[in-house]
Chains A and B, each alone.
Chain A
Amino acid sequence: MSFPLLTATAALPALGAIATAAVPAARRTAAKWLALLFSLGTLALAVVALVRFEPGGARYQLTESHAWIAEFGVRYELGVDGIGVSLLALTALLVPFVILAGWHDADPLEDARPNRRWRPTQGFFALILAVEAMVILSFEATDVFLFYILFEAMLIPMYFLIGGFGDRAAPAQFAAKAAGAGDEAAATQRSYAAVKFLLYNLAGGLIMLAAVIGLYVVAGTFSLTEIAEARANGSLSMATNTERLLFLGFFFAFAVKAPLWPLHTWLPNAMGEATAPVAVLITAVVDKVGTFAMLRFCLQLFPEASKWATPAILVLALISIVYGALLAVGQRDMKRLIAYASISHFGFIIMGIFAMTSQGQSGATLYMINHGISTAALMLVAGFLISRRGSRLIADYGGVQKVAPVLAGTFLIGGLATLSLPGLSPFVSEFLVLVGTFSRYPVIGVIATLGIVLAALYVLVLYQRTMTGPVKAEIRTMPDLRVRELVVVAPLIALLLFLGVYPKPLTQIVDPAVEHTLSDVQKTDPKPEVEAAR
Chain B
Amino acid sequence: MENLIAPLIAAPLLGAAVLLCGGRRLDRAGHWIGTVLAGASFVIGVLLFADLLGRGAEDRTLHQHLFSWIPVGSFRADIAFQLDQLSMTFVLLITGVGTLIHIYSIGYMEHDERRRRFFGYLNLFLAAMLLLVLADNYLLLYMGWEGVGLASYLLIGFWQHKPSAATAAKKAFLVNRVGDLGLSIAIMLMFTTFGTFAFGPVLGAAGDASEGKLTAIGLMLLLAACGKSAQVPLQSWLGDAMEGPTPVSALIHAATMVTAGVYLITRSGAIFNGAPDAQLVVVVVGAVTLLFGAIVGCAKDDIKKALAGSTMSQIGYMILAAGLGPIGYVFAIMHLVTHGFFKAGLFLGAGSVMHGMNDEVDMRKYGGLRKYMPVTFVTFGLGYLAIIGFPGLSGFFSKDKIIEAAFAKGGTEGWILGGVALLGAAITAFYMTRVMLMTFFGEERWRGRETASPAEPSAEPAAEERGRHAEPHPHESPKSMTIPMVVLAFGSVFAGGLFSFGDSFVRWLEPVTGYAHGHPPISAAAVTTATVVALVIGVAVAWLMYGRVPVPVTAPRGSLLTRAARRDLLQDDFNHVVLVRGGEHLTRSLVYVDHTLVDGVVNGTAASFGGLSGRLRKLQNGYARSYAVTMFGGTAVLIAATLLMRAV
Mark A residues whose CB is within 8 Å of B: 196, 199-200, 262, 264-265, 323, 326-327, 329-331, 357-359, 362-363, 399, 401-402, 409, 416, 421-423, 427-428, 431-432, 434-435, 438-439, 442, 445-446, 449-450, 452-453, 456-457, 460-461, 464, 467-471, 501-504, 507, 511, 525-534
Contact = CB atoms under 8 A, between A and B. Distances in A.
B201 to A, nearest CB: 4
B73 A362 contact: yes
Contacts of A501: 69, 79
A461 B209 CA distance: 41
B70 A326 contact: no
B562 interface: no
B185 A446 contact: yes
Interface string B158-187: 001111011101100110011011001101
Do most interface residues of chain A lie in helix, strand or loop, or is the interface mixed? helix
Nearest to A467: B160
B637 to A, nearest CB: 27
B183 to A, nearest CB: 10
Given A327-B587, A469-B162, A529-B213, 12 more contacts: A196-B602, A262-B601, A265-B602, A359-B75, A431-B187, A446-B185, A457-B174, A460-B153, A470-B163, A471-B161, A511-B72, A529-B192
Contact of A434 (B184, B204, B208, B599): B184
Contacts of B139: 431
A329 B170 contact: no
A262 B209 CA distance: 41
Given A199-B606, A530-B195, A507 B72 contact: yes
B594 A449 contact: no
B185 A449 contact: yes
Contacts of A530: 193-195, 205, 208-209
A200 to B, nearest CB: 8
B362 interface: no
Interface stretch (B142-150, B479-487, B488-496): B142-150
Contact of A453 (B174, B202, B205, B591): B174
Nearest to A507: B72
B458 to A, nearest CB: 16
B574 interface: no
Contacts of B202: 532
Nearest to B601: A262
Interface size class of B (residues with CB under 8 A): 35 or more
Contacts of B174: 453, 456-457, 460
A358 to B, nearest CB: 4
Contacts of B165: 468
26 contacts: A200-B602, A323-B590, A327-B594, A363-B72, A399-B161, A421-B150, A428-B70, A432-B75, A435-B187, A435-B191, A439-B192, A442-B192, A449-B181, A449-B184, A460-B174, A468-B161, A471-B161, A502-B69, A504-B69, A504-B70, A525-B74, A529-B209, A532-B194, A532-B204, A533-B201, A534-B201
Contact of B170 (A264, A460, A470, A527): A460
A504 B67 contact: yes
Contact of A504 (B71, B147, B189): B71
Interface string B28-65: 00000000000000000000000000000000000000
Contact of B161 (A362, A402, A432): A402
Given A330-B588, A362-B73, A468-B163, A528 B184 contact: no
A431 B184 contact: yes
Nearest to B149: A421
A504 B68 contact: yes
B161 A503 contact: no
A497 to B, nearest CB: 10
B210 interface: yes
Contacts of B178: 453
B80 to A, nearest CB: 13
A142 B488 CA distance: 68
A422 B147 CA distance: 7
Do most interface residues of chain B lie in helix, strand or loop, or is the interface mixed? helix
A331 B192 contact: no
B538 interface: no
Given A327-B594, A471-B161, A507 B71 contact: yes
B598 interface: yes
Contacts of B606: 199
A186 B445 CA distance: 62
Contact of A469 (B166, B587, B590): B166
Nearest to B595: A265
B586 interface: yes
Nearest to B178: A453
A446 B205 CA distance: 24
Given A399-B161, A431-B184, A501-B79, A265 B594 contact: yes
A503 to B, nearest CB: 6
Nearest to B143: A422
Contacts of B588: 330
Nearest to B144: A422
Nearest to B599: A265
A358 B166 contact: no
B10 interface: no
A240 to B, nearest CB: 30
A263 B613 CA distance: 25
Given A327-B591, A327-B594, A399-B161, A432 B173 contact: no
A446 B219 CA distance: 14
Contacts of A528: 74, 191-196
B583 interface: yes
Which of B67, B70, B153, B181 has the most A CB atoms < 10 Å from its CB? Answer: B70
B112 to A, nearest CB: 13
A327 B74 CA distance: 36
B587 A330 contact: yes
A325 to B, nearest CB: 10
A393 B504 CA distance: 61
Given A422-B142, A453-B181, A507-B71, A532 B188 contact: no
Given A423-B147, A428-B70, A464 B170 contact: yes
| 5 A-B pairs with least C-beta separation | A528-B195, A330-B587, A358-B73, A468-B166, A422-B143
Nearest to B587: A330
A345 B601 CA distance: 24
B119 to A, nearest CB: 15
B590 A468 contact: no
A331 B208 CA distance: 49
Contacts of A469: 160-163, 166
A483 B464 CA distance: 35
Contacts of B195: 527-528, 530-532
A450 B166 CA distance: 23
Contacts of A434: 184, 188
A534 B143 CA distance: 22
Which of A399, A526, A529, A531 has the most B CB atoms < 10 Å from its CB? Answer: A529
B98 interface: no
Contacts of B68: 504
